[in-house]
Amino acid sequence: MTPPEGPDKSAARIRSMFGSIAPRYDLLNRLLSGGNDVVWRRRAARLLDPRPGERILDLCSGTGDLALAVSRRTRGEARVTAADFTLEMLALGRRKFAARGARIPEAGADGLRLPFPDGSFQAVTAAFGVRNFEDLDRGLREVCRVLSPGGRFLVLEFTPRPTGPLAPALSFYLDRVLPRIGRAVSRDGSAYSYLPDSMSRWPDPAALAARLRGAGFADVAWRPLTFGLAALHLATKGASG
Ligand SMILES: C[S@@+](CC[C@H](N)C(=O)[O-])C[C@H]1O[C@@H](n2cnc3c(N)ncnc32)[C@H](O)[C@@H]1O
């Protein structure tokens, strides 16, 4: 049962959940999103518009798909680092980077206490990651800290619930169908119930934009993706950040 205050987002629980689903994580992403996750990451990389030579941190990088998409946009000329605190996910990313000939170093790092000095990166990206933070505001402030002045933060996340005429069908899929497929394929009893549960308790895009401003970001803009199922936020480190 889910406690009233929401799913357990302690570092130990999140790490063990992603450690357990890591081997089937990519397969389930493609299957459960109908391939949309690939398109969303590509759009995220295009919106970020990375430049050759830029230092970019892909936080909550998992198996590294967004790090790769960002690196590819600069033909490998941006200096992308992939960071995550689940070593099983990072290990799969490492193999993927090697197989694709991408030079993307990895860092085992907790997003709530990043092992980087202030102003280390010109951009930070996070896909489907910050929703798992035990303390979202602390994590957002930490991202702001490691960005250089004017640095960009790109967040790709689900929204609490899809909107529009397809919303009932999509909600049925998220609440009833997705957890069953996820459980059968990942063989993890709860990880894919955690997904719709954590989504439904997540701030909507306007509220997330407000949290980003509260953490020191300015010029926060967002756009919905695929019937409002997900959203892309792009924010710039403000003068007070
Ligand atoms: C849903 S996966 C997303 C992976 C990848 N970004 C993608 O687009 O497929 C979430 C990742 O966030 C990582 N994560 C969650 N909380 C974290 C934290 N506090 N610090 C570092 N990584 C975290 C998990 O280990 C997991 O690999």
Domain assignment present for 76: yes
Atom of ligand 1 nearest to the CA of 110: 20
Nearest ligand 1 atom to the CA of 19 is: 25
Orientation of helix 65-73 relative to helix 87-100, angle to 10°: 40
Testing ligand 1's pocket by substitution, the residue of 15, 66, 85 carrying the most ligand atoms inside 8 A of its CB is 85
Looking at the domain assignment, is residue 6 inside a domain?
Answer: no
Who lines ligand 1 at CB under 6 A?
Answer: 14, 18, 60-62, 65-66, 84-86, 89, 110-112, 127-129, 132-133
Statement: residue 3 has pLDDT above 70? no
Q: Can you tell me whether residue 225 is helix, strand or coil?
A: strand
Whether residue 5 lies inside any domain: the answer is no
Quick check: is 3 in a domain? no
Report the alpha-carbon distance of residue 112 to residue 130 in Å, rounded.
10
User: Does residue 225 have a pLDDT over 90?
Assistant: yes
- Domain assignment present for residue 109? The answer is yes
The tens digit of pLDDT for each residue in 164-211 reads 888 899 888 888 888 898 888 888 878 788 888 888 899 999 999 999
Domain contains 161 = yes
Handedness of CA 159, 205, 44, 112 (dihedral sign): negative
- pLDDT of the residue at 5: 62
Q: With a threshold of 0.85, does the pTM exceed it?
A: yes
Query: What's the domain count of the chain?
Result: 1
Between the CA of 165 and the centroid of ligand 1 the distance, in Å, is: 31
Question: The CATH number of the domain where 34 resides is what?
Answer: 3.40.50.150
pLDDT band at 2 (very low <50, low <70, confident <90, very high): very low
Does residue 105 sit within a domain? yes
What is the reported pLDDT for 178? 85
Mutate-to-test residue for ligand 1 from 132, 188, 198, highest number of ligand atoms within 8 A of CB = 132
Radius of gyration of the chain (CA): 17
Residue 164's domain comprises: 11-237
pLDDT in tens, 60-98: 999 999 999 999 999 999 999 999 999 999 999 999 999
Question: Which tens digit of pLDDT belongs to each residue from 100-151?
Answer: 999 999 999 999 999 999 999 999 999 999 999 999 999 999 999 999 999 9
Decide if 2 is inside a domain.
no
